[in-house]
Amino acid sequence: MNQPPRLADRLLEWFCDPLLLEDLQGDLYEIFEARREEGKSTKLLYWWLVIRSFRWSALKKSKKLKNSGLMITKNNFKIALRVLWRDKFNSAVNLLGLTIGITCFLLLGFYVKQEMSYDNFHSKKDRIYRSWLKEDYGEGQIFFNSQTPLRFEALFEENFPEVEKAVQYIEQSFLVGKGENRINERVAIISPDFFEVFDFNMIEGNLNDPLPTRNDVIISQGYAKKYFGENDPIGKVLTLQQGEDDREFNVSGIFQDIPNTSSIRFDIAFSTDNNRDLFGERSMNAWFNVVAETYILLRENTSVAAVNEKMQDVVLELMGDVGYGDGPMQRDQYNIGLQSLTDIHLNPDIPLGYAPVANPQYVFILGGIALLVLIIACINYTTLSTGQSLNRSKEVGIRKVLGARKGGLIYQYLSESILLCMLAMLVGATISYLLIPLFNSLTGTEIFLEFEWWHLVIYFLMALIIGTVSGAYPALILSGFKVIRILRGGNQSTGNLTTRKGMVVLQFLITVFLITTTLIMRKQLQYLQDKDLGFNYKAVVSTALSADPSAQRLSQIISSGMENGELLKARLESHPEISNVAMGTHVFGTSGWANLAHTDDNGIFRWFRMLAVDANYIDAFGIKIIEGRSFEEGNGLDQRQSIILNEAAVKHFNLEDPIGKKLPGSEFGDHQIIGVTEDFHYTSLHSEVEPLVIVQNIIPIASGVSDADFVDSITPKLVFTYNGSNLSEATDILKKEWEEVFPNESWNFAFLDEQIKSQYESEIRMNKLIAIATFLSILIAALGLLGLSLLVVNSKIKEIGIRKVMGASPVSIFRLLAKDFSIQILIAIVLSVPITLWMMNNWLENFAYRTNIGIGLFLISGLASIVVAILVISYHTIRAARINPVESLRNE
């Protein structure tokens, strides 16, 4: 016991300088002994002493250490720093190029990383799944939803031992607050044990039981401030109203604001114990009424496959003789599936739930572009330092004579590129962090990044990789120089010339590709925005009306909303600046017009869209009638049973000479087709115009429909055109009249043109991101060209002198110097065409309506890159061409 630990001693003996060992070890022993006599725990102490003794000054400086990589690295970096300092112009060009490349790469990388890391913060994320429901009855009768019936929570918990917990997540609109200050908010309805599955943090209240009763509500930190200011909200009352119900909730907890990278985002939540009241008794046990997102938490060491395997047996047994149409449910008709939580944000194949989904294609494209820009920057470094390597042949020769091995030389030259990359990374990363707010406001992204210390490791590794990649080729060339030729004074091979030219071509190829891509995307976006949609939407304002709170059936909601609208309409029409006031269940620029389905007399199942309007709607928007007539004001028959189709619907229903006919299907009520409209684009131009039925009274059509899907609310909206010059006046008028007519409702408005534009938001953002990347890549490529042209000029300075003496004109000298580059750029432009065409055609397939790519844009981008290149080259070449030959030929 009174001996110090043997192992610690051995460790000390191993690393300690032998000259120091005896007295250091003696001292440690002495302290150890003294402490032992005091009766303290000494073994750990001794270990601690030994570990603390591990310092630079006490280390064994053996020959091995002195020749080790550590010392060489120190020396290499010292020399690298001197070399970089000596040739300031080249180092600056290299550093600038790399910095820009890295900055661009990091900024786009932040975006990509954020998109990829959605929902990653939940500790149980690997075990959390969202269920989806896909009903497939053949012949295109497919109903696919990621919202599921309310009974799924119990279904999972009771029938699958693999499921530890199932929770519901529902979003509904409520008016929050009291009296005139009510605000329309999305409110979440969550299972009381929701927080046992997801990692959202409670600040006040009980995390294990955040919603003790059905009358409790929890709110986010931000909303605590919004509704209660500085007061403590716990125990206070919050009023939520939906329909006629006005219910007072007791605030039982406050949770931390949910991070941006969460698919599930809410600020107010109450318990699913209220579901029976909200959705009715029938929906509690319904199989076909989709309401809630159901999330399940699997037990550890269980697999989704095990759940999926049993699914059909469980479903069929539970459903018994419940079926769709005639007879009981068949196997594989009612499919329940599970989607991993982390998969939700970037998977467009599963239908949208409450959480928004991003287009994964765009994320990958941006990631690819980030990489391309970085590659350009790397090539820059590679070509420049390879081109410069000739100047350093003497250095290599001397080193080799003194015994440097090839490996050592490679390592030394790599040190240079790595050092430069470290510098570029330091500057680039700092700039990127500072630029995030600007970047966000410029591109409309929402990058939200907090610096953490371990990020430094990533940056360090990235710099190491970038440095190695970009420095590898020049290092190989330099270290491959033949001593005998250097010392004899002969020329060195500076690598395969084709390789270097190839890299310049590749660099320009990427740049030209990016330029053309940006231009084509811009052209398509312009096309989308300029395309005649078939209706007028300039200076059109829409406002959502509210229906009678007691209205239950669709037709009641629509008619009571329109009745309310009439009051507002009458007042608005008295303003001379306002015209074309009309109402309809849907307006333009949204994606989810009411989607209905029915089976016709021949057993064909069809989906179609429906729009309920007042008599004025079609004329107000200037929608063209190509056959028959539009609705007439005050025509009773029109109000009851006339319908108007669009061209697509005529084709869809297989109607010939449709006027006066009916839709195929005996279950529809009395109706009559009175007109056909042009195919106006009521959804975004991503998709073809779908068949549409326009009615004033929905009852005849609704009665023949078997399935319905409402993404947008069908509560009527009122639209009007403003003819004045000051758009804010339009909203002022609306506000004033609204408050007169509906003193208890909060007013709202939207400009249709903005709403329509927002359909292409992700494309517009993408275009901006690519435009930035393009601009930076042009900059980098130009920098590289600037450096290269200087090298070429320097190596030909004598040749130019002699030519000038012999009478060459400056123009011919310029031509001589520019010829090589021009050929390379031309090759790049030609090669870029097929690549761009292929990529862009793929992208354009996202749109049902697309512009021609056309040859013009290729010409423009080709021409632009040539002009930029010539401008850059001319800086040095003109200087060289004008130089007095005496200067260049004098010194030998």
Distance CA 435, CA 105 (A): 13
Please tell me whether residue 659 binds another protein under the rule CB under 8 A: no
Nearer to another protein, 55 or 282 (CB): 55
Nearer to another protein, 34 or 886 (CB): 34
Q: How far is it, in rounded angstroms, from Cα 186 to Cα 217?
A: 14
Binding to another protein by residue 368, rule CB under 8 A?
Answer: no
Q: Is the Cβ of residue 48 or residue 288 nearer to another protein in the bound state?
A: 48
Confirm if 617 and 584 have CB atoms less than 8 A apart.
Answer: yes
> DSSP secondary structure string, 545-569?
----TT--SHHHHHHHHHHHHHHHH
**C-beta of 29 vs 527, nearer to another protein:** 29
What is the separation of C-alpha 559 from the centre of its chain, rounded to a whole number of angstroms?
Answer: 41
Count CB neighbours of 710 within 10 A: 13
Give the type of residue at 749: F
| Residue in 325, 360, 292 with CA at minimum distance from that of residue 284 | 292
Which CB atom, from 46 or from 439, has the smaller least distance to another protein? Answer: 46
Task: Looking at residues 18 to 37 of the shown chain, list those that interact with another protein (rule: CB under 8 A).
Answer: 20, 22-31, 33-34
Find all residues with CB under 8 Å of 444, minimum gap 6, and list them: 761, 764, 765, 768
Closest-CA residue to 15 (of 64, 63, 58): 58
Query: What's the min distance (Å) between Cβ of 15 and another protein?
Result: 12
- 234 interacts with another protein by CB under 8 A: no
| Residue number with CB closer to another protein (25 or 715) | 25
The yes or no reply on residue 5 touching another protein (CB under 8 A) is no
Residue 737: how many CB atoms within 10 A of its CB?
A: 21
210: left (phi over 0), alpha (psi -120 to 50) or beta: alpha
Q: Are 865 and 511 in contact (CB under 8 A)?
A: yes
Kindly state the smallest distance separating residue 3's Cβ from another protein, in Å: 8
Taking the complex as a whole, the smallest distance from the CB of residue 46 to another protein amounts, in Å, to 12
* Residue with smaller CB distance to another protein, 1 or 811: 1
Angle 269-272-278 (CA atoms, 0-180°, nearest 5)?
95
CA dihedral 718, 607, 172, 197 (to 10 degrees): -150
Using CB under 8 A, which residues numbered 616 to 645 contact another protein? none
Least CB distance to another protein at residue 21 (A):
9
**Angle separating helix axes 497-530 and 810-844, nearest 10 degrees:** 50
Q: Report the residue number, 27 or 139, with the smaller CB distance to another protein.
A: 27
Closest distance between another protein and the C-beta of residue 11, in Å?
Answer: 14
Cα separation values, 505 from 376, 501, 816, Å: 11, 6, 19
Q: DSSP alpha helices (H): ranges in 615-751?
A: 617-620, 636-641, 647-652, 699-702, 727-741
Distance CA(558)–CA(545), nearest Å, equals 10
* Residue 56 CB, nearest approach to another protein (Å): 8
As a whole number of angstroms, the distance between CA 479 and CA 497 comes to 17
| Residues contacting another protein: total by CB under 8 A | 19
**What H or E segment, with its residue span, contains residue 28?**
helix 18-38
Query: Considering beta carbons, is residue 47 or 137 the nearer one to another protein?
Result: 47
Site for another protein in 48-107 (CB under 8 A): 49, 52-53, 55, 57-58
Work out whether 348 is an interface residue with another protein (CB under 8 A): no
**Minimum distance of another protein from residue 44's CB (angstroms):** 15
Whichever of 29 and 143 has its CB closer to another protein, that residue is 29
Residue 488 interacting with another protein (CB under 8 A): no
Q: Which is nearer to another protein, 51 or 886 (CB)?
A: 51
Cα 698 → chain centroid: 40
* Minimum CB distance to another protein, residue 32 (Å): 9
Nearest distance from C-beta of residue 65 to another protein, angstroms: 17
Alpha helices by DSSP H, 531-629: 554-573, 617-620
Please state the closest distance from residue 60 (CB atom) to another protein, in A: 14
Residue 33 CB, nearest approach to another protein (Å): 4
Q: Are 508 and 828 contacting, i.e. CB atoms less than 8 angstroms apart?
A: yes
Residues that bind another protein in the complex, under the rule CB under 8 A: 20, 22-31, 33-34, 49, 52-53, 55, 57-58
